[in-house]
Structure 1
Amino acid sequence: MNTTEQSCCPPRPTRRGLLRGAALAGGIAVAGSTVVTMSAAPAAAARSRASSVLVVLSLRGAADGLSLVVPHGDPAYYAARRTIALPADRLIARDGFFGMHPAMAPLLPLWESGRLAAVHATGLPMPNRSHFSAMEQLEDADPGSAERVGWLNRLIGAQPGATALEGLALGSSIPTSLLGPEPVMSFPDVDVVRIGGADGSPKRVQSLTTQWRNASTPMATAFRTAMSSVTDLSPAKAEPDNYPRYPQGELGNALASVARTLRADIGVSAVTVDSGNWDMHTGVGQADRGWMNRNATELSGCIAAFFADLGHVADRVTLVTISEFGRRVKENSTGGLDHGWGNVMLVAGAGVRGGQYYGKWTPLATTLDADVPVTTDYRSVLAEIVAARTTASTSAVFPGFKRERVGVMVGQ
């Protein structure tokens, strides 16, 4: 990573911050590098497999949707981006108006087989250019609520049989989208899931189990859940690791762990993974070089490898990308892009009506402060996925929100 890519976007929450936030959920426990948050009530019995899985891939730092999916049919795009615009003849999956960054070529098989789509001009109802505030608002998905409960936690709670294995965050912390009363867990890599301390021997596990068996505090409940979750994750650790098939880096490692976990059929139904840094105030670059080219290459290569790696569970997994906001239309004086509004969401996998671009387009302006106008609330995209792929009520997951039809999911 070069010096133009340093510390632009907000850091991920620390474990200390996680402990403060998770206190609202009732309790937390840490077993090795595995973090579990849960309510004071014991979790229900585990389901043997999830009928569908939603993977939310967050492009942290605010990705530029106009570079990932280019509106080559809008002349303002080229007028506003004199040095970083992507030539129309270099774009892939091109129709009469849109086309994808050429570095997204690994995704062409998914696109051409109807398993990948893009929804443009999505975002929050009103502009919010603060990373922290926008991420919080995006992941709560419940404007005006005083409760710090994420939409994915509500999704888990709206389906029967919630356990600590249903909600999974790949990383060292749990994002706002998964925080709440339902039990969830996180780990940076499935191979490091273990009981902490000098060893994880059966004698030590038995001792810890005895110590916490009869305690009735939320912490004790969470600790017992963490202990059982480590055991229940054993089938995932036994799955073969196909990591060399992924581009090297944190995202490839994370998605490889997700694929192994899902192939083990242990009941995971909602997953979050982070990709960053996308806060490109400088050095966006052009089609075959620069920061955007590197990020798009990694992103597309990892998503393509992930779906190839899923094997028999691929027909149950839907992946959606999301970012806290987009970038301005006009490039700045350093060949970068400042904080904007509207963005693009990629939707891939099970139930997707792919090979198409969705969304209502408003012609772009070329002034320095021009934004991509949001014409589709991001919750409409998420709610359509929820409605198509889960048994949950969208009104329970997105309180007070009336979704509009996007059409990106089959049957919606």
Structure 2
Amino acid sequence: MTSRRGFIKAGGLALFGIGLGGIPGFLAEAVASTDPLGLFKRRKIMVCIFQRGAMDGLMAVTPFTDPYLKAARPGLFMSAVASQKNRPLIDLDGRFGLHPAMSAFEPMFKEKRMAIVHGIGSPNSTRSHFDAQDFMESGTPFKKGTESGWLNRAVGLLGHDAATPFQAVSLTSSLPRSFYGDHPAVAIRNLADFNIQMKGNQASVNNTARTFEDLYDQTSSGLLKSTGKESFEAIKMLQKTDIKNYRPENNVVYPNTALGNSLKQIAQLIKMDVGMEVAFAESGGWDTHFNQGTDTGVFARNVNDLSNSIIAFWSDMAKYQDDVTLMTMTEFGRTVAQNGTGGTDHGRGSCNFILGNSVKGGMVHGLVNPLAKENLEDGRDLPVTTDFRSVFSEVADKHLGIKNDKILFPEWNGKQIGVML
């Protein structure tokens, strides 16, 4: 018997395909054999942001009492003590300081809604951006041929089938590696334009809803008008909503940046209740090989955008905060020592941020030993002391109710670190 998931997958291909013919018999069988899942049932939502380019975790969250770091970064080191030269770091716990351009995070950390994990990264020591991103998104850091992404597998482990094509949505121009796989996932570049891509059909489809509406109208009573109706109604809702004139909660102003606009649109989808449960966005520009800056410069601009965009989203989610957890990720960190051009090179461990009402917040989790050369990986890098899978699995398990880590991360046998309540 064809499963409902099979129907939704096939329905997705019909929904976003071009030049479709009639309705296959198995589709009718799937519809007849299942009851529709309510589109508007409120569920938990996990939002993931990939910081592409490798964020310098030692500058984002600095162990400012470490003399070795100060010596290794004569032009980049920042202190928690105010000076005429730089704005000071925001002292989190007497040892770690938050970059001053990330001041938007400070209240969330103090309210224990934000957790930081330091020394996080991949056990694979590659310093290739492409390979490290691929390993992190597939969730199999020692296996290149994995066809699925860990977020797609997470969708498959939610314990119910999709009633909507918007269960897993990436606000990107193409489907990210994290969403590759057998389960429904879509990439929407811009809600106002409503261009959608699906893996297996990389052509941009501008008349998506019209194609599906034609298909819907041609069906006999009940074929798509039971199970397929949720998908159709979600698309109609999306098209009829005044996306461009959206007004966030409490007059929140999002940064007018790629990340700010992506999170704003994720907030719109959540409020429209189109059945989204996993969302994905990207932030670029983290490859700071030269002129990284300190309290100003390219890194400061990046972390300012990251923190302000996330906090705008969180404030906009005022009525949904119990349902939403947000997590950042980056493929690796930067070298402990600065290079000759005022930047940092490809390294190993970095840090990430987790925001939600169910996180064990107000803490810098993970292990960061003194940054003496003998403690560094290859004599140059912050070691990876927390496997990214131990954090990603815990957030997905605790927030989304996923129970099978052997499928979520098939090569991993480690332990979670207690970052969630």
Match of 1:231 in 2: 236
Matched, 1:65 2:57: yes
Shifted more, 179-188 versus 90-99: the winner is: 90-99
Q: In 2, distance between residues paired with 1:379 and 1:81?
A: 30
Q: Note the alpha carbon deviations across 1:148-203, whole angstroms, 9 max, x for none.
A: 1011101110111234211110011111111100011111222222799897897x
- 2:254 maps to a residue whose letter is Y
- Residues 122-161 of structure 1 aligned to structure 2 (within 5 Å): 122-142=120-140, 143-144=142-143, 146-159=145-158, 160-161=160-161
Match of 1:402 in 2: 413
- 1:298 maps to a residue whose letter is D
- 2:73 maps to a residue whose letter is R
Q: Cα–Cα, structure 1 residues 45 and 332, in superposed 2: closer, same or farther, change >3 Å?
A: same
Match of 1:247 in 2: 255
Give unpaired runs (5+ residues) of structure 2: 1-8, 19-25, 82-87, 197-203, 221-227
- Residues 178-327 of structure 1 aligned to structure 2 (within 5 Å): 178-193=179-194, 206-209=213-216, 230-231=235-236, 233-234=238-239, 240-242=246-248, 245-287=253-295, 289-327=296-334
Equivalent residues of 1:153, 1:182 under 8 A apart: yes
Match of 2:21 in 1: none
Q: Note the alpha carbon deviations across 1:237-280, whole angstroms, 9 max, x for none.
A: 56933397012211111110011111222221111100011000
Match of 2:167 in 1: 166
Q: In 2, distance between residues paired with 1:130 and 1:28?
A: 37
Equivalent residues of 1:235, 1:264 under 8 A apart: no
Matched, 1:341 2:382: no
Q: Note the alpha carbon deviations across 1:274-321, whole angstroms, 9 max, x for none.
A: 00110000111012x111111111111111111001131111111111
Match of 2:4 in 1: none
Instruction: Report deviation, 1:46.
Output: 5.4
Equivalent residues of 1:241, 1:256 under 8 A apart: no
Equivalent residues of 1:237, 1:261 under 8 A apart: no
- 1:55 paired residue among 47, 63, 70: 47
- 1:380 paired residue among 387, 390, 393: 390
Equivalent residues of 1:63, 1:325 under 8 A apart: yes
Match of 2:102 in 1: 104
Q: In 1, distance between residues paired with 2:212 and 2:393?
A: 41
Match of 1:84 in 2: 76
What TM-score comes out, normalization by structure 1 length? 0.81
Instruction: Report deviation, 1:377.
Output: 0.2
Q: Note the alpha carbon deviations across 1:94-126, whole angstroms, 9 max, x for none.
A: 212111101110111211111111000010013
Match of 1:217 in 2: none
Q: Cα–Cα, structure 1 residues 237 and 145, in superposed 2: closer, same or farther, change >3 Å?
A: farther
Q: In 2, distance between residues paired with 1:199 and 1:345?
A: 39
Q: In 2, distance between residues paired with 1:96 and 1:148?
A: 44
Q: Cα–Cα, structure 1 residues 63 and 402, in superposed 2: closer, same or farther, change >3 Å?
A: same
Equivalent residues of 2:172, 2:188 under 8 A apart: yes
DSSP 3-state at the match of 1:173: coil
Shifted more, 253-262 versus 141-150: the winner is: 141-150
Shifted more, 70-79 versus 327-336: the winner is: 70-79
- RMSD across aligned positions (CA): 3.2
Shifted more, 171-180 versus 361-370: the winner is: 361-370
Q: Note the alpha carbon deviations across 1:41-94, whole angstroms, 9 max, x for none.
A: 879745423421111111111111011100112211111101011122211142
Q: In 2, distance between residues paired with 1:371 and 1:256?
A: 36
- 1:253 maps to a residue whose letter is N
Match of 1:356 in 2: 363
Q: In 2, distance between residues paired with 1:152 and 1:132?
A: 18
Shifted more, 367-376 versus 175-184: the winner is: 367-376
Match of 2:23 in 1: none
Q: In 2, distance between residues paired with 1:294 and 1:165?
A: 32
Equivalent residues of 1:128, 1:325 under 8 A apart: no
Equivalent residues of 2:189, 2:195 under 8 A apart: no
Shifted more, 277-286 versus 241-250: the winner is: 241-250
Q: In 1, distance between residues paired with 2:254 and 2:267?
A: 11
Instruction: Report deviation, 1:348.
Output: 0.6
Q: In 1, distance between residues paired with 2:54 and 2:208?
A: 40
Q: In 1, distance between residues paired with 2:317 and 2:240?
A: 15
Give unpaired runs (5+ residues) of structure 1: 1-22, 33-39, 215-222
Q: In 2, distance between residues paired with 1:335 and 1:321?
A: 26
Give the paired residue count: 369
Q: In 1, distance between residues paired with 2:384 and 2:207?
A: 52
Q: In 2, distance between residues paired with 1:307 and 1:323?
A: 20
Equivalent residues of 2:209, 2:235 under 8 A apart: no
Q: Note the alpha carbon deviations across 1:325-376, whole angstroms, 9 max, x for none.
A: 1111110000011101101011111311111110012222459960110111
